[in-house]
A and B are shown apart, each in its own frame.
Chain A
Amino acid sequence: MGGTIQNRDAFLGTIAAQLGREPKMKVEKPIWKHQPQRTVLAGASLDELLEVLRVQCEQIHTDIVETTKESLPVALDEVVKAYGGGPISLWKDGRFGEYGLSGLLEAKWPSQQIEVNSWDPSLGEKNIELAEQANIGITFSDMTLAESGTVVLFSSADKGRSVSLLPTHYIALIPKSTLVPRITQASDMIREKLNNGEQVPSCINFITGPSNSADIEMNLVIGVHGPVKATYIVIEDC
């Protein structure tokens, strides 16, 4: 791929010398003596994880809506209307169809003059412009961390980083089956992909509620550079 590395040998040589040895070309990671992260919510059922997520959503100033696959179009429509409608920015993602949302996205909303823009790599930069003007960005969650109330998004050509970032509001669609205890399981999954010869995507986002800041007198302000409001819609899928 053509990356470059400059000044490495001297730099690492200095480090090795300070440590009083030759540079190391191989290191085995030890088996860690402590692994407290593995015990958090260990063995919890999906229902138990969902309860943890519900409670955590209050902490992170995020609304949570629970629905079935059948009622999802109605539930999503309600949240979108509550946020003031379009324009809407979406990932290009087969899951919208699988979860029965094609009618809503392709017929109902356009008929109500709600503009819907699916990420389309062939449009190039235009995608970013559309996401920037969007009122709402909607993505699926690839993995959902109950403990922290986090949705994990893997970017790709069809799944731009901007959709969960630039619009004023953000909606994450969370299939209940994507719930895991915490970020530990997400890291395991990433490493598993790596071991299977896949490469990690250029951008992985762990998103926990809307953007916020406490930089002015330690007062919490919700909504700074990223979305100012966020809703998680949890879909019963198992």
Chain B
Amino acid sequence: MAMKFSKKNFTDRTKDNISDDFMRQAVASAQERLHGRRLDAAEELGNWEEWRSHGEEIRQHVLENLDFYLHQLSENVAERGGHVFFAKTAEEASDYVRDVVKKKDGKKVVKSKSMVTEEINLNAVLEEAGCEVIETDLGEYILQVDDHDPPSHIVAPALHKNREQIREVFEGKLDYHKTSKPEELALHAREKLRQEFLDADIGITGCNFAIAETGSISLVTNEGNARLVSALPKTQITVMGMERVVPSFEEFEVLVSLLTRSAVGQKLTSYVTALTGPRDEGDVDGPEEFHLVIVDNGRSEILGTEFQSVLQCIRCAACVNVCPVYRHIGGHSYGSIYSGPIGAVLSPLLGGYDDFKELPFASTLCGACTDACPVKIPLHELLHTHRRIIVEEEGRSPISERLAMKAFGIGAASNPLYSMGSKVASTAMKPLTKNDRISKGPGPLKDWTDLREFPAVGNTRFRDWFYDQKGGK
């Protein structure tokens, strides 16, 4: 699926999700678990802030020198016999992958989890070309089997589904006849997918980090599916966002440590795999042919701007797991494969304000995301920057807000107007007031009072109250 997966507008998406009680409870409990595990993992180290600072300095250095490290990476991949394709756009990237698959006469493609392949709409392109494409991460597999339900979390894509729903999907689509116990469901997926791994002729992976010095790519998983995807098919194609590079193994291990701790509270996940080129001469398993596709798709336009730091992201979702807004509206409300605070910053940059201008406003700017980020991206500040640009430079704030601000501007600039306005406010709002509360507000107040009450305008003006307090002086 492409980055944007919903035609509904933000308000409707949010309304749908906020009334989904299971989803909200699932998200709340997942947030608590993941957040708790991350805190434990950080505390255990004793000097988490220093780790964050190190993560930040590495990522900043890479972004400042990104052309150099990508050059070095591509040289080393080619030296080991791999093919590197630099793709400016999503179309260039997915077309290249499709052409490789066609050339190899590939019929069956197994994939391990990759956000960037979602971004470039790869599955649809390959399916159109007549390939069978199978997602092998358990969460992604569940979503794919359920008629391509979109992911709702970067790390745990099927978070919004309960076991009974998953059982029903498996029963309907995979001839499954057992209970909704996660163990039995997972075993069924293991058995179904094992044969697919063995039969597939193409393996497609994402890339957590690419290592410039050695020309390696790395995959961080718990299930082992990325290992199977990269060990069994004859051709491997790895797709990476261009910012996902590190100088050497020295920095790689630090970022992996930050990633696994921040994402799931593990010191390392079950499998961290560093792959260099295709199989070596004499190797029996591993791909005979290896392709690395490095994707820009709007990233370079972020470089050199006030949003550059968002490219430091290592996709751990720690920000998602602490966000009070995500907790209530869930991942699908964002309408983008990138949800939560990182999604609210990144989606408008990669997908444009036309589709995603509401997202930066769906935040309390509480800053929990910034505190949680293992590479110190100032997420809430970037959200604020988006708002400023949307309002000041793009002039895209809602009409009711613009009118209200304009009226306030006129009123506040003139002393007699302000004085009169603030005097009559209490009387003017009286018809709407009940027990000192306004529950059905007009115009711009309506969005607020749809969800909660608004306090009635006081009978005494602050100015008068202040004047009285000072004893009329």
* With A3-B82, A202-B283 already in contact, 11 other A-B pairs whose C-beta atoms are closer than 8 Å: A6-B86, A11-B242, A35-B54, A150-B272, A157-B284, A201-B280, A206-B272, A215-B137, A215-B138, A225-B193, A226-B223
B45 contacts A209, C-beta separation under 8 Å: no
- Which chain A residues lie closer than 8 Å to B190 at the CB level? 223-225
Tell me how far the C-beta of B379 lies from the nearest C-beta in chain A, rounded to whole angstroms.
Answer: 21
- Which chain A residues lie closer than 8 Å to B82 at the CB level? 3
0/1 interface trace, chain A 1-44, chain B, CB 8 Å (1 if under): 11111111011111110111001111101101111110110000
- Which chain B residues lie closer than 8 Å to A85 at the CB level? none
A223 contacts B186, C-beta separation under 8 Å: yes
- Which chain B residues lie closer than 8 Å to A156 at the CB level? 280, 282-283
In the complex, the chain B residue whose C-beta lies closest to that of A226 is B224
Interface membership of A102, Cβ < 8 A = no
Q: Which residues of B contact A (CB under 8 A)?
A: 26, 29-30, 33-34, 45, 47, 50-51, 53-54, 57-58, 61, 64-71, 74-75, 77-88, 92, 136-139, 142, 156-159, 162-163, 166, 182-183, 185-187, 189-190, 193-194, 197-198, 213-214, 216, 222-225, 227-228, 230-232, 242, 247-250, 252-254, 256-257, 264, 266-286, 294, 296, 300-301, 303-304
- Which chain B residues lie closer than 8 Å to A145 at the CB level? 268
A5 contacts B78, C-beta separation under 8 Å: yes
A162 in complex: contacting residue of B65, B84, B231, CB < 8 Å: B231
Report how far A194 CA is from B250 CA in the complex, Å. Answer: 12
Of the listed stretches A65-73, A75-83, A109-117, A125-133, chain B binds A125-133
Report how far A202 CA is from B231 CA in the complex, Å. Answer: 11
- Which chain A residues lie closer than 8 Å to B216 at the CB level? 200
Report how far A184 CA is from B54 CA in the complex, Å. Answer: 14
Tell me how far the C-beta of B67 lies from the nearest C-beta in chain A, rounded to whole angstroms.
Answer: 4
Interface membership of A187, Cβ < 8 A = yes
A218 in complex: contacting residue of B30, B138, B231, B248, CB < 8 Å: B30
Given A24-B65, A29-B61, A194-B213: A3 touches B33 (CB 8 Å cut-off): no
- Which chain B residues lie closer than 8 Å to A123 at the CB level? 284
- Which chain A residues lie closer than 8 Å to B227 at the CB level? 161, 165, 205, 225-226
Interface membership of A183, Cβ < 8 A = yes
21 A-B contacts, Cβ less than 8 Å apart? A3-B77, A3-B277, A4-B83, A11-B88, A15-B70, A18-B301, A19-B66, A30-B57, A34-B53, A36-B47, A37-B54, A128-B285, A150-B268, A155-B286, A194-B213, A215-B156, A215-B157, A218-B29, A223-B186, A225-B136, A225-B223
- Which chain A residues lie closer than 8 Å to B194 at the CB level? 132, 225
Q: Is the interface of A mostly helix, strand, loop or mixed?
A: loop
Tell me how far the C-beta of B157 lies from the nearest C-beta in chain A, rounded to whole angstroms.
Answer: 8
- Which chain B residues lie closer than 8 Å to A226 at the CB level? 223-224, 227-228, 270-271
Given A183-B257, A212-B222: A8 touches B71 (CB 8 Å cut-off): yes
- Which chain B residues lie closer than 8 Å to A7 at the CB level? 85-88, 92
Tell me how far the C-beta of A44 lies from the nearest C-beta in chain B, rounded to whole angstroms.
Answer: 15
- Which chain B residues lie closer than 8 Å to A34 at the CB level? 50-51, 53-54, 57
Report how far A13 CA is from B85 CA in the complex, Å. Answer: 15
A1 in complex: contacting residue of B26, B80, B187, B231, CB < 8 Å: B80
B286 in complex: contacting residue of A6, A14, A161, A187, CB < 8 Å: A161
- Which chain A residues lie closer than 8 Å to B231 at the CB level? 161-162, 165, 203
Interface membership of A196, Cβ < 8 A = no
A32 contacts B58, C-beta separation under 8 Å: yes
B66 contacts A15, C-beta separation under 8 Å: yes
Report how far A23 CA is from B67 CA in the complex, Å. Answer: 7
Interface membership of A232, Cβ < 8 A = no
In the complex, the chain B residue whose C-beta lies closest to that of A215 is B139
Report how far A216 CA is from B190 CA in the complex, Å. Answer: 14
B61 contacts A30, C-beta separation under 8 Å: yes
A191 contacts B249, C-beta separation under 8 Å: yes
9 nearest A-B pairs in the assembled complex, by CB-CB distance: A226-B224, A3-B78, A157-B282, A215-B139, A1-B81, A11-B86, A34-B54, A148-B267, A211-B224
Report how far A128 CA is from B85 CA in the complex, Å. Answer: 30
B67 in complex: contacting residue of A15, A127, A212, CB < 8 Å: A15
- Which chain A residues lie closer than 8 Å to B280 at the CB level? 156-157, 201-202
Given A32-B57, A155-B283: A211 touches B222 (CB 8 Å cut-off): yes
B186 contacts A216, C-beta separation under 8 Å: yes
A16 contacts B79, C-beta separation under 8 Å: no
Interface membership of A47, Cβ < 8 A = no
Given A127-B284, A187-B253: A202 touches B276 (CB 8 Å cut-off): yes
Report how far A221 CA is from B223 CA in the complex, Å. Answer: 10
A165 contacts B301, C-beta separation under 8 Å: no
In the complex, the chain B residue whose C-beta lies closest to that of A183 is B253
Tell me how far the C-beta of B45 lies from the nearest C-beta in chain A, rounded to whole angstroms.
Answer: 7
A24 contacts B186, C-beta separation under 8 Å: no
- Which chain A residues lie closer than 8 Å to B294 at the CB level? 11
Given A157-B280, A191-B248: A6 touches B50 (CB 8 Å cut-off): no
B67 contacts A187, C-beta separation under 8 Å: no
Interface membership of A86, Cβ < 8 A = no
Given A3-B81, A6-B85, A36-B47: A19 touches B284 (CB 8 Å cut-off): no
Report how far A116 CA is from B197 CA in the complex, Å. Answer: 24
A224 in complex: contacting residue of B158, B186, B252, B281, CB < 8 Å: B186
A92-135 residues with Cβ-Cβ distance < 8 A to B are: 119, 121, 123-125, 127-128, 132
Tell me how far the C-beta of A91 lies from the nearest C-beta in chain B, rounded to whole angstroms.
Answer: 12
B257 in complex: contacting residue of A13, A37, A128, A160, CB < 8 Å: A37
Given A33-B53, A127-B284, A223-B186: A203 touches B271 (CB 8 Å cut-off): no
